[in-house]
Copies of this chain bind each other. A is one copy, B any other.
Amino acid sequence: MRSRWFTPLLILTTLASAAAHFLSTNEPIRFTLASLSLLLWAALLGKATESVAHYAGERLGGFLNATFGNAAELIIAIFLVQKGLFDMVKASITGSIIGNLLLVLGLSIFCGGLKYKTQSFNTMLAGHNASLMLLAVIALFSPAAFDNRLDQSGMQSFSLIIAGLLIVSYFLWLIFSMITHKKELGESPVMEAPTSGVSQTSNHFEEPEWTKRNSILLLFIAAVFVAIQSEWLVGSVEAVASALGWSELFVGAFLIAIIGNAAEHSAAIFLAMKNRMGAAVEIAVGSSLQISLFVAPALVFISLFFDKTMDLTFTSIELAAIAIAAFIATSISRDGSTNWFEGVLLLIVYAILGTGFYLV
């Protein structure tokens, strides 16, 4: 990513996207250019967050990384909530969760597994991730389970209380994982040498390429542009979906999710191929936990400021997809050890779900 082509490419696509937005009415072109530009800005946002995290120290850095990591998704979702497109918000939350648990994690485990026979990470972290993932599944299922017994205002209250409880859980998890049990959840020291023979364990993060001041500046600039491109992108999503004959569900759950998670994708695979599987798992699983325990509930509260209030009732297909992704990812990562075939399993499940969403 950090090549000399990056900056010119970023400026070029941003200008092109702006030109298309203001001058053109061709929705596919506007959509494609906004996607490209968003993808590059999201990557820069991820890198800037990482750099800021480096200077701010591990604890605060981890918190910043966790909070800004999903900034793109959150910003896209807020624009959708404002427009009252709740179905697409929920589809994109679903897509982000399953995209992280199946595509990002699957590709990381598969690519890492091609280079290293077995990769391992902290089993206590794996166990806690599994329990938190289960909490998320339970919380998203509960409104559906009580659906036919509650009227609309009852469901509204139920959604708000669940949302509040999830946000509390998320902050307690930050306290637990970054303060009281920081050491216990640290990366596993057991690292295997690459099968290629050369043993070069790179335990140190690379030096950041920007100064502290520049990192913070870049973080803000990137966040602003991610927001702008997200708004433009959302504006043409519906037109493109109907033009291509794709269902809203497929666009929301797969297309937007893949664009929004672009930063996580590249970072996690990169880390897995450096045999830092613990960090790769933390990005993929941690990101889907943040979406379900923080972003989704926060959107319920944010919707209170707009015309219509969003509840937490997902469709049965979305719930099935989330539960399926959570169960298979948990089953594979629970033992704190992965290999190429486990990556394949996740990708196969992603393909099955993707096919289903496409055909609907």
- The interface of chain A, by Cβ under 8 A from chain B, is 117-118, 123-124, 127-128, 130-132, 134-135, 138-139, 141-142, 145-146, 149-150, 154, 157-158, 161-162, 165-166, 168-169, 172-173, 176, 180-181, 184, 316-317, 320, 324, 327-328, 331-332, 334-335, 337, 339-342, 344-345, 348-349, 351-353, 355-356, 359-360
Contact = CB atoms under 8 A, between A and B. Distances in A.
Contact of A138 (B162, B316, B324): B324
A209 B132 CA distance: 43
A356 B144 CA distance: 11
Given A331-B131, A332-B131, A145 B345 contact: no
A253 to B, nearest CB: 13
B131 A172 contact: no
Given A145-B316, A340-B180, A134 B355 contact: no
Task: Give the 9 A-B CB pairs with smallest separation, nearest first.
Answer: A176-B341, A145-B320, A149-B360, A146-B356, A154-B359, A131-B331, A161-B355, A138-B324, A165-B348
Contact of A169 (B157, B168, B345): B345
Given A149-B360, A339-B181, A134 B331 contact: yes
A317 B348 contact: no
Contact of A172 (B317, B334, B344): B344
Given A128-B342, A146-B356, A172-B344, 12 more contacts: A117-B180, A123-B335, A131-B342, A134-B328, A138-B349, A141-B320, A142-B324, A142-B353, A142-B356, A145-B317, A165-B352, A176-B339
Contact of A345 (B132, B320, B337): B132
B360 A146 contact: yes
Given A352-B162, A355-B158, A360-B149, A340 B135 contact: no
A150 B132 CA distance: 33
Contacts of A130: 331
Nearest to A168: B348
Contact of A150 (B128, B316, B345, B360): B360
A138 B135 CA distance: 20
